[in-house]
């Protein structure tokens, strides 16, 4: 079993030392899980089953809430309903917004103002070694249930993964798991959540590998797959999860044998979906900025957002409401019939606006399912509009339904990320290897375009807006914890800059420490003096004017701060061409000294630990 690729960060260490976990596993059981790969797999399987129960419960709660608010028949989907009372379309999201605002107000009063938002699975694995707050996860999941249940245009997948990963993290902390194994267990929770939501274990597993753990390795394969299978089986047993796409025969997807020629329109559709995905992400940001600029109270913003979403549903179609599961099934069942080009364009615009308004106004949820639905609409629009632009397009052997599947995956990749995740989703949904090959071509084109032109997925884009430099869940927390403050030598002897050179040379003969830090009259950093260089210059100037200590100062304006990490320190050494730099506090007082050789040595050791952990070797 792999061990931690890095030490806990300072905040983590203080929490570990300050108090024991709220629930702690028995000693022998902890030892079994920590020392045995089989123990980790068993715990991951348990996490998967627990996640399946969690997803089933959240799904049932939201469905029940929608049935109550919109007077729906039992089991019917809101976004596919055509008999909803018009006033309820307007009132449902508003009531949900009011309930959400009340919850935010009450919780804010009880807990006080928060200095930072709750940690999601990606941030937890990237910066905090997999440590998440279960209390925050439950709170966010409750907000997601209210948001989705009232008809706001957000999916439940964000709530699924948040709560299931939070439960996994809490279990891992109770078992006192190492950093690397805790990150894996958080990925297991997310994998099981997605697998349970879609009845797609491969999709869930690769969602964890690509988006939550940040890498694929042999060491993580078994526990993640075990969790995904367990979550899917439990959810199927409880809810009988409906397949994402239901095809009677493969002829529903193709009109003839799929050839390599179909790659061309698939690539074009991938590029088209990349542009649409970027526009959707930008739209969410614009709405958020508009809401903040309006200075609407945070608790009141969801009410206004709900009013706007309800107005879109009332003026157009209920398909813009909630996640869109029912609407997606409806569009796949119709296979492109009954929706002209302009109607598809209007539906795409309405759904995109509803999602942007929902998230931007404060409803909790994600764009996972919304991006799938929008991608299916974009694919059908592409199939209908492309022959009008390129007359020869009609000769290809794909139906509008096939383009809907390809567009669904390509736009979801643009927004969510995870090319293999969306490719396996298409495979598990259609069971068609030829279509999956075209999906793979489209998602690669979409992913590459977004990465090179925009640079972020929806989650990492929001981290960027908060000022966090996170591009994926790849573990960079160990780099941040390897700070200059931890690496520096603290027993630094300083001398005043006014010290005569002769006095300095007597106090620091050859063979003593080769670098001495010099301070000015106010005990502030002035520079570094090389002892061998000082002796050499003194001998050369023996018959002439002796240099002063101030003449020998190096790097007077270059220094490090204790919060800098090893990577930043290495860059500073390279930029200044110095072998050692002083470490200063905010008042320019010298608190330590760090050499380039020691920094690179420790950095290389940690990189090697990371490499061995990814390979599943003992570290």
Q: How many CA atoms lie within 13 A of 253 on its CB side?
A: 25
User: Containing H/E element for 50?
Assistant: helix 37-70
Please report which residue ranges of 361-483 form alpha helices under DSSP H.
368-389, 400-416, 419-430, 433-453, 458-465, 477-481
| SS3 state of residue 293 | helix
| SS3 state of residue 556 | coil
Each residue's pLDDT tens digit, 369-414: 999 999 999 999 998 888 777 766 554 667 788 899 999 999 999 9
Pairing assessment for the beta strands 525-530 and 515-519 based on DSSP bridges: antiparallel
Give yes or no for a contact between 260 and 435, defined as CB atoms under 8 angstroms apart.
no
| SS3 state of residue 233 | helix
Under DSSP, the state recorded for 547 is P
Which residues does residue 489 pair with via DSSP β-bridges, in sequence order? 593
| Closest residue by Cα to residue 427 from 411, 416, 414, 443 | 443
pLDDT of residue 10: 39
Which residues does residue 517 pair with via DSSP β-bridges, in sequence order? 494, 528
Average pLDDT of the chain is 85
pLDDT of residue 221: 93
| Closest residue by Cα to residue 66 from 137, 161, 152, 140 | 152
pTM value is 0.81
Under DSSP, the state recorded for 128 is S
pLDDT of residue 512: 82
Calpha distance 467→452 (Å, rounded): 20
Cα end-to-end distance, the chain, whole Å: 9
pLDDT of residue 614: 59
Residues of the chain below pLDDT 70: 1-25, 113-115, 241-259, 334-338, 391-397, 464-478, 542-545, 610-619
Cα diameter, the chain:
104
Interacting residues of 381 by C-beta distance below 8 A, sequence separation 6+: 341, 344, 345, 348
Token pair 């002892």 in the structure block, residue = 531
| Closest residue by Cα to residue 165 from 224, 220, 219 | 224
Give yes or no for a contact between 151 and 320, defined as CB atoms under 8 angstroms apart.
no
pLDDT of residue 545: 67
Locate 583 and state its tokens.
Answer: 């470490």
pLDDT of residue 249: 45
Determine the distance from the C-alpha atom of residue 472 to the mean position of all C-alpha atoms in its chain, rounded to a whole number: 6
Interacting residues of 130 by C-beta distance below 8 A, sequence separation 6+: 124, 169, 172, 179, 182, 183, 184, 185, 186
| All domains in the chain, ordered by first residue | 10-242 (no CATH), 250-465 (1.10.3080.10), 482-614 (3.10.580.10)
pLDDT of residue 115: 60
Each residue's pLDDT tens digit, 126-169: 888 899 999 999 999 999 999 999 999 999 999 999 999 999 99
pLDDT of residue 313: 93
């Amino acid at each position: 079993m792999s061990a931690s690729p890095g030490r806990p960060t300072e905040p983590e260490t203080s929490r570990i030392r300050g108090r024991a976990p709220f629930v702690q596993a028995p000693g022998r059981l902890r030892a079994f899980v920590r020392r045995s790969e089989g123990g980790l797999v068993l715990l991951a399987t348990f996490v998967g089953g627990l996640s399946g129960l969690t997803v089933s419960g959240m799904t049932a709660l939201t469905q029940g809430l929608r049935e109550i608010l919109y007077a729906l028949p039992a089991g019917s989907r809101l976004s596919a309903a055509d008999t909803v009372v018009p006033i309820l379309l307007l009132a449902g999201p508003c009531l949900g917004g009011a309930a959400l605002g009340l919850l935010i107000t009450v919780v804010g009063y009880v807990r006080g103002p928060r200095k930072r938002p709750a940690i999601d699975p990606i941030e937890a694995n990237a910066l905090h070694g997999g440590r998440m707050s279960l209390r925050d996860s439950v709170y966010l999941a409750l907000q997601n249930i209210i948001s989705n249940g009232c008809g706001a245009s957000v999916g439940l997948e964000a709530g699924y993964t948040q709560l299931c990963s939070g439960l996994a993290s809490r279990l891992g902390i109770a078992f006192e798991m190492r950093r690397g194994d805790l990150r894996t267990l958080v990925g297991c929770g997310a994998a099981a959540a997605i697998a349970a939501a879609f009845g797609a274990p491969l999709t869930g597993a690769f969602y964890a590998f690509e988006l939550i753990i940040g890498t694929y390795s042999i060491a993580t394969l078994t526990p993640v797959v075990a969790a995904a299978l367990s979550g899917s089986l439990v959810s199927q047993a409880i809810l009988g999860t409906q397949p994402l796409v239901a095809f009677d025969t493969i002829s529903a997807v193709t009109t003839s044998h799929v050839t390599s020629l179909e790659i061309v329109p698939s690539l074009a559709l991938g590029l088209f979906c990349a542009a649409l995905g970027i526009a959707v992400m930008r739209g969410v940001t614009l709405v958020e900025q508009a809401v903040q600029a309006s200075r609407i109270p945070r608790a009141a913003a969801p009410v206004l957002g709900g009013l706007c979403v309800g107005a879109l549903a009332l003026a157009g179609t209920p398909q813009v409401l909630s996640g869109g599961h029912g609407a997606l099934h409806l569009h796949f069942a119709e296979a492109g019939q009954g929706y002209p080009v302009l109607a598809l364009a209007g539906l795409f615009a309405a759904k995109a606006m509803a999602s942007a308004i929902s998230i931007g106004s404060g409803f909790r949820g994600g764009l996972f399912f919304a991006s799938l639905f929008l991608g299916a609409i974009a694919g059908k629009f592409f199939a209908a509009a492309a022959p009008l632009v390129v007359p020869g397009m009609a000769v290809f052997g794909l139906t509008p339904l096939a383009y809907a599947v390809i567009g669904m995956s390509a736009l979801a990749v643009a927004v969510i990320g995870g090319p293999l995740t969306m490719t396996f989703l298409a495979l598990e949904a259609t069971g068609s290897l030829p279509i999956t090959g075209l999906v793979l071509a489209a998602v690669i084109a979409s992913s590459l375009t977004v990465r090179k032109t925009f640079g972020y997925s929806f989650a990492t884009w929001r981290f960027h807006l908060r000022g966090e430099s996170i591009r994926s869940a790849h573990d960079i927390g160990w780099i941040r914890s390897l700070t200059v403050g931890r690496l520096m030598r603290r027993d630094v002897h300083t001398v005043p800059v006014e010290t005569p050179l002769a006095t300095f040379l007597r106090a620091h003969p050859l063979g003593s420490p080769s670098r001495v830090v010099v301070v000015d009259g106010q005990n502030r950093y002035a520079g570094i003096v090389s002892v061998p260089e000082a002796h050499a210059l003194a001998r050369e100037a023996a018959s002439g004017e002796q240099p002063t200590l101030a003449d020998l100062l190096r790097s007077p304006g270059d220094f490090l701060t204790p919060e800098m990490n090893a990577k930043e320190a290495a860059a500073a050494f390279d930029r200044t061409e110095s072998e050692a730099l002083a470490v200063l506090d905010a008042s320019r007082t010298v608190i330590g000294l760090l050499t380039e050789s020691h920094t690179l040595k420790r950095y290389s050791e940690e990189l090697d630990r990371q490499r061995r952990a990814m390979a599943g070797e003992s570290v």
